[in-house]
Every structure is written in structure tokens, then in C-alpha cells.
Amino acid sequence: MAYIAKDHNGTARGAVPTARLAQPATGVAGHLPGPGDPARSTPTAAHREATPTAGTGVGPQLSAPVRYLLAGIRLALGWIFLWAFLDKMFGLGHETTPARSWVNGGSPTKGFLGSAATGPFTGFYHSIAGGWLTDVLFMGALLAVGVALLLGVAMRLAAGAGALLTVMMWTAVLPPASNPFMDDHLVYAAVLVVLALLGAGHTLGLGARWAEITLVRRSAWLR
């Protein structure tokens, strides 16, 4: 109850009307805010568009120059993987001669793992060099990662498989020839992970449409 002080004439001063204390907060012009009132604190359309969702990822929220730069890096890496597959498969003459191509009976892993492998894992790589399972897994990884990166789909799977493949290639040549510990394969692995985390498949790719597939929406690891 408010303290009321009276002057010598008996007039109350400093009193706060009870009705004013009990008056609820109002919106605009004394109107109580309702569900449709603009004064009500609701997310605006612009705010909703700026909020990332599970389906779209981070990519659409980046600035246009950054998105196109990431897309260019993604396409470049995708072509590196795909070209390695095509050259080893058909012997296009850049790194693999036609006689040593996979379609002509050559092995895409025997030459590198059988003779070029160095370091602490030499024995392991020599033991699997040229095996049919090694060849199938290696070529399948090159093709799958290359196509996924070029299309911008299954970026998390592509990044994981590509990073694993490049790290294994790094371990096959330890220590690196041009650096005490760093190697371009490790840089490739790191870039692949960054591309997946930033949703690089949404720009110049099919990442957005891929993310809307029911199975992909339910399984985050497929995005």
C-alpha cells in the first residue's frame, strides 16, 4: 500500500493511485497487444530469412563473393579428383600411359604404393599395392569424391572420404619431400572439411536441392 503524506490542510500528496499501479502494460495507443498486433515481438520476414536452417546450412548466409570463391575451390578440387580417376582408368597419357591404364589391365596403385611409398608405413603400403580390393577402393573413392564435389552434393561424405584418402597418401610418402612435416595432401584434406562445413555445394551446385530430399533431411551425414 502506497505511503500517503498529508500536508497541513489534509491534502494527500505523494500518493500513487491504486488503479494506475494495477494498470496493465499496453501496446500502441493504449491497446493491449494481441496475436496480430504489429507491436508484438515476433520474428520479421527478414529475420527468418537470415536465420540458417538445417536444410540450407551455412552457405546461403555467406556473402556472394565468398560463396562463389568457395564454389570455385570446390569445383577445382572436384576436377582434380575426377581427372586422377579418368587418367588412371583410361591412360590419357598425362600421368598414366595407355598401356598401364586400368582398362588395359594395369593397376592404379601398384606403381605408387609398390615403389614410391616411403617412411614408417612402407611395409603396409607395399603389402596392399596392386591388390584388386585396393584398386577398387582407390578408384571408387576418386570417382565418388570428384563427382560429389563437382555436383555439390553429399559434401560431408565427400569431405570425409576425400580427407581420409589424402591423409593416407600423405602417410605413404613420409617424410614429405619438400617440407619437414607439411604436405599439400594435408592442405587438401583441410580445405575439403572447410567446404563441407560452409555449405559450398549450394552455390554453382545442387546442394540446396540435395538437402531437400527426404532421406537427406533425416540424415545429416548425407548432406
Average pLDDT, the chain: 82
Burial of 153 by CB count in 10 Å (0-12 exposed, 13-18 middle, 19+ buried)? buried
**Mean pLDDT, residues 147-151:** 98
- Confidence class of residue 179 from pLDDT cuts 50, 70 and 90? confident
CA distance 158 to 152: 9
Where exactly are the structural domains of the chain? Answer: 60-222
6-20, 70-84, 136-150, 174-188: the lowest-pLDDT one: 6-20
Tell me, rounded to whole angstroms, the distance of Cα 127 from its chain centroid: 35
CA distance 152 to 208: 9
Residue 176 has a pLDDT of 87
**Mean pLDDT, residues 161-166:** 97
30-39, 135-144, 193-202: the lowest-pLDDT one: 30-39
Q: Is the pLDDT of residue 177 over 60?
A: yes
Assign 164 to helix, strand or coil: helix
